[in-house]
């Protein structure tokens, strides 16, 4: 009998979680707010990130099966709602991909000619090409994807951010001028502007995804013991990376000049030139590009694998169920690549790359927050169905503890949806009315996708019977 090899241990999970959640993509957004971002992260950590960690630890260790969120919601509310949940998560990743891949493309352009990052045609071809390359890479399954994620996490996120934070410390220590100033007023945001309140949504979103690795729970060594340990270790690393690096950007670039697409790369260039380390610039840009590549790769294999399992369980269209000899969901990966290529045309429809970048991120953010409300609801339902004597991690405080965690996390997600319809001034999306309409249309499309797939699958099943 062939031995079932579990490829994921504690270190692999820590690195995978770090590369998924600790994405460098959101850093320019948060850096705009200077020291007040610490306040926002403190609120988001208490009200959303810690509840997400606790919820994921209980769900993943109580039901340590491949499929993650789909399995959890399916056990709580049935197959249809389970399919709806994993499908909207998959689709919101699709509309988010153009933004993370534009960041990857920008990194490559900075290695060649930074001016290319502002040319829509060049961005479109670069983004779609990189996506198709990553799709082929993920066709080799979870083992290869795990190796890529681990490598990119260390060399592309942890190492560069430690260097940037070190640069920032030396910058302050050497007495150079700072673009932000530490005082009481700078620590608290100005709540007179609704756009600043809406910024909380993006801080919450920057902490989303800790449950994504739960899709691979069936591939984890001793999941009931290793998964909670990995979650909490990676949580500390993620907060350190996101807050420390964002402050490093804010230190050297005036808030009004921070580009939402290339802000991190601009800060690195300033640090390297100031400290006469121009030779390090190319290396850092390359490493950060690898980090973004690893982040997107981890999200891709997690969401497509969960979607593939749901399609197999629901017996949807045969092509959507298709996997190869590596266990990779090639059917979903191929469909995803086609839809993604179409989605990138958003870069052509908006007045600027930054505007399209923000709109796609915000649409994906609001959809994913709906997904989190369902996930926290499933946590409550499953605790009441939980078998006594279960060996998984349980949230302290019994059922009351579960209710507190779920109401805190789910309520914060709901608040994030409401305030997310107010765009920050830095987004540059033009008309507020057009912005709200665009978000609403995007959410309607996202929530329609599961039902379209279910209808297609039903039609395919009838044809096979005939």
CA 327, CA 90: separation in Å to the nearest integer?
A: 18
Asked if residue 380 has pLDDT above 60, the reply is yes
- For the beta carbon of residue 35, count every other beta carbon within 10 angstroms: 17
Residue 283's domain spans which residues? 10-465
Residue holding tokens 């410390």? 169
Q: Which of 104-108, 148-152, 313-317 has the highest mean pLDDT?
A: 104-108
Q: How confident is the model at residue 163 (pLDDT cuts 50, 70, 90)?
A: confident
Q: pLDDT at position 244, please?
A: 87
Q: pLDDT at position 195, please?
A: 59
Asked if residue 305 has pLDDT above 70, the reply is yes
Quote the radius of gyration of the chain (alpha carbons, Å). 21
Asked if residue 134 has pLDDT above 80, the reply is yes
Short-list 228, 113, 248, CA closest to 172: 248
Q: pLDDT at position 329, please?
A: 78
Q: pLDDT at position 390, please?
A: 57
Those residues whose C-beta lies under 8 Å from the C-beta of residue 322, and which sit 6 or more positions away, are 329, 330, 331
- For the beta carbon of residue 21, count every other beta carbon within 10 angstroms: 26
Q: Residue 3: inside a domain, yes or no?
A: no
Short-list 261, 209, 230, 167, CA closest to 369: 209
CA 366, CA 355: separation in Å to the nearest integer?
A: 17
Asked if residue 277 has pLDDT above 50, the reply is yes
Residue holding tokens 């001016």? 115
The overall average pLDDT reported for the chain is 77
- For the beta carbon of residue 442, count every other beta carbon within 10 angstroms: 21
Domain count for the chain: 1
Those residues whose C-beta lies under 8 Å from the C-beta of residue 331, and which sit 6 or more positions away, are 308, 311, 319, 320, 321, 322, 323
Q: Residue 4: inside a domain, yes or no?
A: no
Short-list 83, 461, 27, 457, CA closest to 261: 27
Q: How far is CA 435 from CA 198, 350, 358, 422, in A?
A: 13, 11, 10, 9
Q: pLDDT, tens digit, for every residue of 216-275?
A: 666 666 766 777 778 788 888 888 888 888 888 888 888 777 776 677 778 888 888 888
Q: pLDDT at position 196, please?
A: 62
Q: What is the mean pLDDT of residues 175-190?
A: 70
Q: Residue 449: inside a domain, yes or no?
A: yes
Asked if residue 376 has pLDDT above 90, the reply is yes
Q: pLDDT at position 64, please?
A: 72
Q: What is the mean pLDDT of residues 110-124?
A: 76
Helices (H), 386-430: 398-419
Q: pLDDT at position 374, please?
A: 94
Q: Residue 400: inside a domain, yes or no?
A: yes
CA 235, CA 229: separation in Å to the nearest integer?
A: 10
Short-list 321, 319, 292, CA closest to 309: 321
Q: pLDDT at position 232, please?
A: 82
Q: How confident is the model at residue 314 (pLDDT cuts 50, 70, 90)?
A: low
Tokens matching residue 387? 């078998």
Q: How confident is the model at residue 160 (pLDDT cuts 50, 70, 90)?
A: confident
Q: What is the mean pLDDT of residues 82-101?
A: 83
Asked if residue 304 has pLDDT above 60, the reply is yes
Short-list 141, 158, 154, CA closest to 7: 141
Q: Residue 2: inside a domain, yes or no?
A: no
Asked if residue 88 has pLDDT above 80, the reply is yes
Q: pLDDT at position 29, please?
A: 76
CA 461, CA 239: separation in Å to the nearest integer?
A: 47
Q: Residue 214: inside a domain, yes or no?
A: yes
Q: pLDDT at position 2, please?
A: 40
CA 203, CA 365: separation in Å to the nearest integer?
A: 10
Q: pLDDT at position 189, please?
A: 65
CA-CA-CA-CA dihedral for 56, 210, 93, 67, to nearest 10 = -40
CA 34, CA 304: separation in Å to the nearest integer?
A: 36
Q: How confident is the model at residue 461 (pLDDT cuts 50, 70, 90)?
A: very low
Residue holding tokens 């912005």? 435
CA 198, CA 290: separation in Å to the nearest integer?
A: 30
Q: Residue 109: inside a domain, yes or no?
A: yes
Higher pLDDT, 29 or 56: 56
Provide the β-strand partners of residue 8.
Answer: 220
- Write the DSSP assignment of 247-312 as a string of letters: HHHHHHS-GGG--TTTHHHHHHHHHHHHTT-HHHHHHHHHHHHHHHHHHHHHHHHHHHHHHHHHHH
Least confident of 298-307, 313-322, 346-355: 346-355
Asked if residue 429 lies in contact with residue 355, where contact means CB atoms within 8 angstroms, the answer is yes
Higher pLDDT, 193 or 435: 435
Half-sphere exposure of 107 (CA within 13 A, CB side): 24
Q: How far is CA 169 from CA 174, 243, 248, in A?
A: 9, 14, 8
CATH number of 18's domain:
1.20.1740.10
Q: pLDDT at position 289, please?
A: 80
Asked if residue 411 has pLDDT above 90, the reply is yes
- For 329, the 3-state DSSP assignment is coil
Q: Residue 1: inside a domain, yes or no?
A: no
Q: What is the mean pLDDT of residues 12-30?
A: 74
Q: pLDDT at position 409, please?
A: 93
Provide the β-strand partners of residue 220.
Answer: 8
DSSP state of 1: -
Task: Calculate what percentage of the chain has a pLDDT beyond 70.
Answer: 79
Q: What is the mean pLDDT of residues 6-29?
A: 71
Higher pLDDT, 35 or 457: 35
**Residue 220: phi, psi to the nearest 5?**
-95, 135
């Amino acid at each position: 009998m062939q031995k079932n090899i579990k490829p994921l241990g504690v270190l692999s999970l820590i690195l995978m979680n770090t590369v998924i959640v600790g994405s460098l993509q959101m850093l320019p957004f948060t850096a705009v707010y200077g020291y007040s971002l610490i306040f926002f992260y403190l609120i988001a950590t208490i009200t959303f990130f810690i509840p997400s960690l606790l919820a994921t630890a209980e769900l993943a260790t109580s039901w340590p099966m491949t499929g993650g969120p789909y399995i959890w919601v399916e056990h709580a509310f049935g197959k249809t709602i389970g399919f709806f949940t994993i499908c909207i998560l998959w689709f919101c990743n699709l509309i988010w991909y153009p933004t993370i891949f534009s960041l990857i493309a920008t990194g490559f352009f900075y290695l060649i000619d930074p001016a290319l990052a502002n040319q829509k045609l060049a961005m479109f071809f670069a983004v779609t090409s990189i996506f198709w390359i990553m799709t082929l890479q993920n066709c080799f399954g979870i083992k290869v994807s795990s190796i890529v994620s681990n490598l990119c996490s260390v060399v592309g996120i942890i190492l560069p951010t430690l260097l940037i934070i070190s640069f920032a410390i030396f910058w302050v220590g050497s007495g150079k001028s700072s673009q932000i100033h530490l005082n009481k007023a700078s620590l608290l945001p100005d709540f007179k502007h609704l756009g600043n309140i809406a910024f909380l949504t993006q801080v919450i979103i920057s902490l989303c995804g800790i449950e994504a690795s739960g899709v691979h729970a069936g591939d984890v060594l001793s999941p009931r013991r290793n998964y909670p340990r990995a979650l909490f270790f990676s949580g500390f690393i993620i907060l350190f990376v996101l807050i420390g690096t964002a402050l490093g950007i804010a230190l050297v670039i005036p808030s009004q000049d921070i580009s939402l697409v290339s802000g991190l790369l601009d800060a690195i260039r300033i640090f390297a030139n100031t400290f006469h380390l121009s030779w390090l610039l190319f290396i850092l840009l390359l490493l950060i590009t690898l980090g973004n590549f690893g982040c997107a790769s981890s999200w891709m294999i997690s969401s497509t694998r969960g979607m593939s399992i749901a399609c197999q369980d629901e017996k949807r269209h045969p092509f959507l169920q298709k996997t190869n000899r590596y266990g990779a969901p090639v059917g979903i990966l191929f469909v995803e690549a086609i839809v993604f290529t179409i989605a990138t045309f958003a870069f052509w429809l908006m007045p600027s790359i930054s505007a399209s970048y923000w709109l796609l991120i915000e649409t994906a953010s609001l959809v994913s927050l709906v997904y989190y409300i369902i996930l926290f609801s499933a946590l409550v339902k499953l605790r009441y169905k939980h078998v006594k004597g279960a060996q998984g991690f349980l949230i302290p405080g019994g059922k009351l503890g579960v209710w507190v965690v779920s109401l805190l996390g789910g309520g914060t997600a709901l608040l994030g949806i409401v305030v997310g319809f107010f765009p920050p001034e830095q987004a540059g999306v033009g008309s507020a009315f057009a912005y709200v309409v665009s978000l609403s249309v995007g959410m309607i499309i996202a929530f329609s996708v599961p039902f379209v797939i279910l209808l297609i699958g039903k039609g395919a099943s009838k044809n096979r019977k005939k």
